[in-house]
């Protein structure tokens, strides 16, 4: 594993962060209703490897409890100025516990060739099956 510290930001730059990730380990596309609507392409990092460097007060929060769950699994964040989704915090045991879901498009300094070469892992978040891909990945 080769961790790199990547900087990232929302569109207007009000929310900025650093995340230690290894793009070569792969990215994630999920079919849950939220990820599908946002066309999310994510890289996950453990909570200890994520640092919000600016904009804590520039973010709005959104939580949603999926059907069949007692509570929300991810706290989504959005920039109050530009409306772009910023990294969300979650805790799902099947994904290793506490993590941040970082939109790949927020990373300012990711190498396009490295990103294109990274494997994509598809997860069936719509059915809480994070250990397998959904039946249809054509639109993810």
C-alpha separations of 136 from 30, 124, 126 in Å? 11, 9, 12
Per-residue pLDDT tens digits for 37-76: 999 999 999 999 999 999 999 999 999 887 777 888 889 9
pLDDT at position 15 is 98
pLDDT at position 85 is 96
* Alpha carbons 66 and 81: distance in angstroms, whole number: 27
Is-contact 117 67, C-beta < 8 A?
Answer: no
Per-residue pLDDT tens digits for 79-133: 999 999 999 999 878 778 899 999 999 999 999 999 999 999 999 988 888 889 9
String of b and e for 7-26 (b: at least 16 CB within 10 Å)?
ebbbeeebbbbebebebeee
Please give the mean pLDDT across all residues of the chain. 93
Full set of structural domains in the chain with CATH? 4-127 (2.170.150.70)
Per-residue pLDDT tens digits for 71-89: 888 899 999 999 999 999 9
Is-contact 46 25, C-beta < 8 A?
Answer: no
Per-residue pLDDT tens digits for 13-39: 999 999 999 999 999 999 988 899 999
């Amino acid at each position: 594993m080769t961790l790199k510290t990547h900087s990232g930001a929302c569109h207007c730059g009000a929310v900025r962060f650093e995340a230690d990730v290894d793009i070569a380990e792969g990215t994630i596309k999920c079919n849950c209703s939220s990820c599908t609507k946002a066309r999310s392409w994510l890289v996950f990092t453990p909570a200890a490897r994520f640092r919000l460097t600016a904009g804590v007060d520039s973010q709005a929060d959104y939580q949603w409890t999926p059907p069949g769950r007692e509570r929300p699994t991810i706290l989504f964040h959005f920039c109050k100025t530009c409306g772009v989704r910023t990294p969300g915090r979650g805790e799902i045991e099947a994904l290793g516990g506490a993590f941040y879901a970082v939109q790949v498009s927020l990373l300012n300094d990711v190498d396009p060739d490295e990103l294109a070469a990274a494997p994509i892992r598809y997860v069936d978040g719509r059915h809480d099956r994070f250990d397998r891909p959904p039946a249809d990945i054509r639109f993810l």
